[in-house]
Structure 1
């Protein structure tokens, strides 16, 4: 694709990156077949190809984005299926991230949008506040549900976003998990030492996931540390376009992890939420122009591993008994498209004795996408229902996924238990059955 940036614009490192990405796009349209919003809406501007054109014009003109541009960029899930499909290697992720940051900087949203986005950016990265919000949701939900439904769900309103947020809140919250700074020693001779990302929403909604990961790792000779002073990875607010805050979180985490690596050594930084892992693996790119943090950010990105990657390199204990449970494996977008980890989780489950079934249309997003199911509840609901129907077609006993957002989203549309892949692997090698601890 031809671009028309001037020399002054190209002196900006971000614009230089955008120029390189745009020039790689040949407008072939392969991406449209795997884009969830294009599949649902059939609008060219709701496809990666259409959004690329909108972003190109916005950046070249260096003018405030229009409401039309914002609408179509906001509808993007950042599922990155287009990057898996693209034969030209267009890095759509870095392009749409830049567009979101530009929108956040130069576009004045209606006050209801500002209110919801500010609330999400404030609550979700802070586990104590998020937990309080989830508790309050149980009391507010009955009152909000009495209010009339909006007439046009294609135009998200403050009311239907609040309803979507409340609908995702669980009826009960589990007890808090272990605190930051806790070290879990290996059982028997120590074979490795890792940091485990504590997480934000997952820490509140499902601390059992990290507990299962710790049990499995300890059982296989790996010492696990929950690093003190660790903060939100920044993924949720990064997709809201709040780059200043995102980079502040990134720098704080890099400082904490490097301090831990110097103190006791780290073989890896493990992540059980694939959405977080995709962003942490991108820290090196995000801080490439930062003289102080560029090198340590690159090191952190190199150390970051999805839990399945690290466990896949271990020689797992043989399953205690073969299970006849049918597991539908949902491949989170951030794992299969963002991190290019597709077959490994299924292989691990299969070797651990489970009957693993692929889900039809596995490349399509479930509609969670960080805060997307709150900001775009109608589209997210359609995608969830489509995903749940595809899962039901394989008649599973359980559904496995590697991302808490997907787990919550899918569970809101089915009665089939939804668990994390690591919970099943822990169970197979001596841990409790998921849901029993």
Structure 2
């Protein structure tokens, strides 16, 4: 793609990077075939190629973002399926990140939009606040019809009926390995996950210690920054990321770490990108080191000696976009489940997003609902007893549309290797 940035524009590192990304695009349109929003809306501007044109025009002009551009960029899920498909290697992730930051700095959103985004940024990354918000949502759900904005109604719909008690396993501490210590790893406990589903971290700790890992919950660790990062709030995202970098570097500089384990793939994609986020910062070296140690939990488990099992259960595996497209991890979760003895099946169009995408299901509820319905239909068509996924957002999204239990992959692997049966599966059927 030909670009026309001025020399003064190209002196700005972000614009220079955007220019390189734009020039890699050859207009082939292959990305449109795998773009969920293009499939739902059928609008070229709601495809990666269309958004690339809008971003190019917005950045080249040097003018503030306009309503038309913002509307189509806001509809992007950042599922990154386009990057998996693109034959030219266009780095769409960093391009759309830059566009969102430009929008945040130059565009004045309508008051309700600004308010909702501010509220989400002030609540979701903080587990304590999020728990209070979930309690308020339970109280407010009967009055959903009185809500003036469809996004407010969507927030009430997505709130779980039951809020788990706080798990003290998420507090800063060290869990000793069972038997000989093979590795020392830090576990990222997340933020929203600690309010929505404490079973995931509990199962992860049991599984890793059982397999010989000493598990560290680092003091000072918090939200990865992904939520505000995808809102274009660069400064807030970098502050959150910097706290994590310092927390993990303290452990690296102490007894050392073999890996930083992440069991929420949306967070994993962001942590693995810390090196890029801080490439021009004083924390550049530390950020790169942290990114280099970051691993999805299934990446680490693939390196450990997971016992073979004979679990008699049919599992439909949902591949989270942040895992299969963002981190290019496609085989490890399925191979691990099969090794544990589960029968693993996959839905049709497994490359397509479920519509969760961070806060997307709250800010774009209609498109999200359509994508959820499609994903649930393809999963239920496999007639599985349980659905497994590696991302809390996907689990909540899919779980709100199906009666089939939805669990994290590590919960099944923990159960298969000696842990408790996941409560989400319900009681064991009695034998007549």
Shorter-normalised TM range: over 0.9
Equivalent position SS for 2:160: coil
2:307–2:339 CA contact under 8 A, matched in 1 = no
Q: Does 1:371 align with 2:359?
A: yes
Deviation at 1:436, TM superposition (A): 6.7
- 2:17 and 2:424 map into 1 onto residues whose CA distance is 49
| Corresponding residue number in structure 1 for 2:379 | 391
RMSD: 1.0
| Corresponding residue number in structure 2 for 1:229 | 220
| Corresponding residue number in structure 2 for 1:65 | 65
Deviation at 1:143, TM superposition (A): 1.3
Equivalent position SS for 1:289: coil
What 5-or-longer segments of structure 1 have no aligned partner?
148-157
Per-residue displacement from partner, 1:103-151 (whole Å, max 9, x unpaired)?
011000000000100000000111100011001110011112355xxxx
Q: Does 1:131 align with 2:131?
A: yes
| Corresponding residue number in structure 1 for 2:429 | none
1:174 to 164, 167, 188: 164
- 1:27 and 1:179 map into 2 onto residues whose CA distance is 47
| Corresponding residue number in structure 2 for 1:154 | none
Per-residue displacement from partner, 1:68-109 (whole Å, max 9, x unpaired)?
000000000000000000000000000000000000110000
| Corresponding residue number in structure 1 for 2:262 | 271
- 1:206 and 1:263 map into 2 onto residues whose CA distance is 31
- 2:188 and 2:195 map into 1 onto residues whose CA distance is 13
| Corresponding residue number in structure 2 for 1:381 | 369
1:80–1:93 CA contact under 8 A, matched in 2 = yes
- 2:32 and 2:160 map into 1 onto residues whose CA distance is 35
2:372–2:398 CA contact under 8 A, matched in 1 = yes
| Corresponding residue number in structure 1 for 2:34 | 34
Output the TM-score relative to the length of structure 2.
0.97
| Corresponding residue number in structure 2 for 1:352 | 340
Alignment of 1:11-410 (within 5 A): 11-146=11-146, 159-177=149-167, 178-290=169-281, 292-319=282-309, 322-410=310-398
Output the TM-score relative to the length of structure 1.
0.96
Equivalent position SS for 1:58: helix
Equivalent position SS for 2:315: strand
Paired residues, what number? Answer: 424
| Corresponding residue number in structure 1 for 2:401 | 413
What 5-or-longer segments of structure 2 have no aligned partner?
426-432
1:180–1:229 CA contact under 8 A, matched in 2 = no
- 2:76 and 2:170 map into 1 onto residues whose CA distance is 35
Equivalent position SS for 2:345: strand
- 2:298 and 2:340 map into 1 onto residues whose CA distance is 13
- 1:277 and 1:436 map into 2 onto residues whose CA distance is 24
Equivalent position SS for 2:253: helix
2:223–2:240 CA contact under 8 A, matched in 1 = yes
- 1:142 and 1:351 map into 2 onto residues whose CA distance is 45
Equivalent position SS for 1:218: helix
Deviation at 1:207, TM superposition (A): 1.0
- 2:321 and 2:89 map into 1 onto residues whose CA distance is 17
Equivalent position SS for 2:149: helix
Per-residue displacement from partner, 1:238-288 (whole Å, max 9, x unpaired)?
111101000011111101100011122110100000000000000000110
- 2:145 and 2:341 map into 1 onto residues whose CA distance is 44
Deviation at 1:179, TM superposition (A): 3.7
Equivalent position SS for 1:324: coil
Equivalent position SS for 1:391: helix
Deviation at 1:318, TM superposition (A): 2.6
